Structure 1
Amino acid sequence: MKIQPRTIKHEKFKEMVKAWLDTHREEYCSFVEEVGKRDRSGFQHIFQYAQMAAPGYANAVMTYMSEKDSKDFSGIEKVLKDADIASTLANDLQSQNPDSIAPAMLAWLYFGNSWETMVAYNEEMIQDKKTSFSNRLKARFVIFMAIKMSIFNEHRTKEDWENFRKIQKSIGSAVPVTDSSIEELENEEAPVPTEDDGAQETTDEKKEPQKRGRKKVRVSIESLFLHNAERMKEKLSCYLKSQCGGNELAMLYICLKNDAYMSHCEITTFHNALVEGFPEIKFVAVRSVQKAHKDLTTDMMGGKRLMDFGEYKKMFDNIRRHFAA
């Protein structure tokens, strides 16, 4: 008797996948062999399945790669949610259709080295000198998503990924993006200090640390500008109507500071001023802006930064022209 997708509990679903695996070892091994090929044919089949189950998936991924902030997966998540891909997977698992890759793919995700294979393969792509810059960025995206989603879905733990990177290094593999991704996820959970976070001080009597402050630095957006505050605020308002993702705000911060439109301040102060100065706009969290700023300004090759290449450079040049006009 077929179980309706929306009534299946997660543990029951996992048991169903394991039952299929126990009785279809040959099909499973063939699938694992295919995804392990260097021509990436197995991954292409998985991507094609995702396109079939969620027709807007490919466009959502491409939109993310070209426009979205590296922390904002809402577009991709909405496509998958609207398509109800979980129900499609559950139906395909129970259909016994020999042409569907869903059962083998699910078994690989739950019980195989799926996440590790995806991460290791994309690390190799990044190290390959023949890989284009844009494809390296895509590979970095896949690695971060694989690690994040495997932890979120409780398929892997941070300890599992720590062990994975130790094994990879022991056999001579370079895993710089895996290292940075794990660190980024750890930083997401750590509290981000504000400028008023005081250093831990001790009292004369008990020598115990005092509690750290959490006050926001509150200044008006007008007070940050060095001249023509009203004109700059109008320019800013026009820009923010369509540009308020993490990358956009990080580049805005860099432009205003480097081109001497704004007095020196930390990103948290700048973000707080924007939030209070434009309450009608929904801004991303300050952590997204801090993360984007770090990525965009990290030295890469020849003394250049990520923001000096491709679409990022074009975006930054447009910001400078907007405020110079």
Structure 2
Amino acid sequence: MLILAHSLTQAHYMTKEEKNKLTSDALRHWYENHQEEYCNFTDLMHDRRGIGFDQVFKTAIMLVPKYEKALLLYLKNDRSEGIEDLEKILTDGGLKDQLALHFRAQMPDCIVPAMLSWLFFGRSFECMVEYGEELIQDGKLNFLLRRLASFNIKTIINRSLTIGARKEEDWVKFVSEMEDMGITPVVTAGVVAKFKSIPTETKVEMKSTSEKKPIPGKEKKRRSLKELLPNSDEYLLGSIDEHIHIKQSGKDLALLYLVLEKSRSLTNTSVVEFHAALEQRYEKKPNIRIPGHRGIQDNLKMLLTPTTITKKSGVEVPCMTFERPEYMFAYNDLVEKLGVQDYAYSC
């Protein structure tokens, strides 16, 4: 399923005339003025069930109907390797023009504007590679699908470098981040080890990582949610449980993190560790699905983006996005619901 993401990179190969229809400036304007819609899309793409990639697939076959049958045949053929024929179908089917058209039209429920913004400004390539590494380590998938995921990881990384979307050092940093989270990205590390620009010692380190055998369940020791909330009691933890039971999107969890952090209830920690603590606490709760940490990070970045509020007098006052009226109600409601003022701690 990861191969569906290749349709996104078509936008980077537009001619000068095509780019006039869909410029990076236009995408930047949409991105800056549709943060909530953008973050909702990133939530889908970071969902471990792959529902974001399903949406991309549905969009691809809506724009180029022939793509569906070609992709299904490709997935069933155990001799499949390159994706040139699939890309040719997308190109011949006018995908570039269709993307530009749907971006300009901006019809309700159309994911094209958010999808393109994510490609240009988000962690799109990293997300695709993360998902591929997870597929490879999923023992429930057959060999052909895992081999396909491996092939796609290599293609996505090399494509990101070719079009200038990422630099080699970006992928070195990515491998380090994955290892910090207790994940061994063997395929990615193998690709990075062959980069010409990185130091010899880094190549050796990457080669060593690529030769590791991932051990299921062996992850870096992280603190529990209770440990991240030094003064917490059963009331606070129970209130958080109730809240997450009904509100568990990336935006909801970013707001929760912000409320706990601003009230000084949360100890010094990162979104990655906070996310790991939530996953650990709710892993056996069938009705709770914690989205990927990237979704929380993207939404937190949006909430902390500087903006302004226009007063009745017409004066614009600087503030953070979460301090705007449309967000402040939910923020204050959560503060009151959790009673976080009673759980502040001193460093």
Moved over 4 A (4+): 62-65, 183-186
Structure 1 residue 161: Cα displacement: 1.1
Structure 1 residue 179: Cα displacement: 1.9
Structure 1 residue 142: Cα displacement: 2.5
Identity value in percent: 34
Out of 117, 127, 134, the residue aligned to residue 127 of structure 2 is 117
Structure 1 residue 130: Cα displacement: 2.0
Cα 1:39–1:133, aligned 2, differ >3 Å: closer, same or farther? Answer: same
Matched with 2:328 is none
Out of 21, 35, 39, the residue aligned to residue 49 of structure 2 is 39
Matched with 1:220 is none
CA contact (8 A) 2:21 2:100 kept: no
Structure 1 residue 140: Cα displacement: 1.4
Matched with 1:170 is 180
Matched with 1:144 is 154
Q: Distance in 2 between matches of 1:152 and 1:63?
A: 28
Q: Distance in 2 between matches of 1:37 and 1:59?
A: 26
CA RMSD of aligned residues (A): 2.8
1:105 aligns with 2:115: yes
Q: Counterpart of 2:23 in structure 1: which amino acid? A: F
Matches within 5 A, 1:209-220: none
CA contact (8 A) 2:175 2:188 kept: yes
Q: Distance in 1 between matches of 2:112 and 2:98?
A: 9
Structure 1 residue 57: Cα displacement: 2.2
CA contact (8 A) 1:64 1:75 kept: no
Matched with 1:25 is 35
1:85 aligns with 2:61: no
Matches within 5 A, 1:274-289: none
1:53 aligns with 2:58: no
CA contact (8 A) 1:36 1:117 kept: yes
CA contact (8 A) 1:34 1:42 kept: yes
Out of 141, 166, 170, the residue aligned to residue 160 of structure 1 is 170
Matched with 2:292 is none
Cα 1:90–1:9, aligned 2, differ >3 Å: closer, same or farther? Answer: same
Tell me the TM-score normalized by structure 2. 0.48
Tell me the TM-score normalized by structure 1. 0.51
Q: Distance in 2 between matches of 1:84 and 1:35?
A: 24
Matches within 5 A, 1:174-185: 174-183=184-193
Out of 130, 139, 144, the residue aligned to residue 140 of structure 2 is 130
Matched with 1:297 is none
1:73 aligns with 2:83: yes
Structure 1 residue 33: Cα displacement: 0.8
How many residue pairs get matched? 184
Residues 46-71 of structure 1: CA deviation (Å, up to 9, x unaligned): 0111122222223333454526663x
Q: Distance in 1 between matches of 2:30 and 2:44?
A: 19
SS of the equivalent of 1:9 reads helix
Q: Distance in 1 between matches of 2:35 and 2:64?
A: 28
SS of the equivalent of 1:156 reads coil
Cα 1:144–1:9, aligned 2, differ >3 Å: closer, same or farther? Answer: same
CA contact (8 A) 2:46 2:127 kept: yes
CA contact (8 A) 2:63 2:98 kept: yes
Matched with 2:321 is none
Q: Counterpart of 2:154 in structure 1: which amino acid? A: F
Q: Distance in 2 between matches of 1:63 and 1:179?
A: 30
Q: Distance in 2 between matches of 1:10 and 1:147?
A: 27
Cα 1:47–1:12, aligned 2, differ >3 Å: closer, same or farther? Answer: closer
SS of the equivalent of 2:49 reads coil
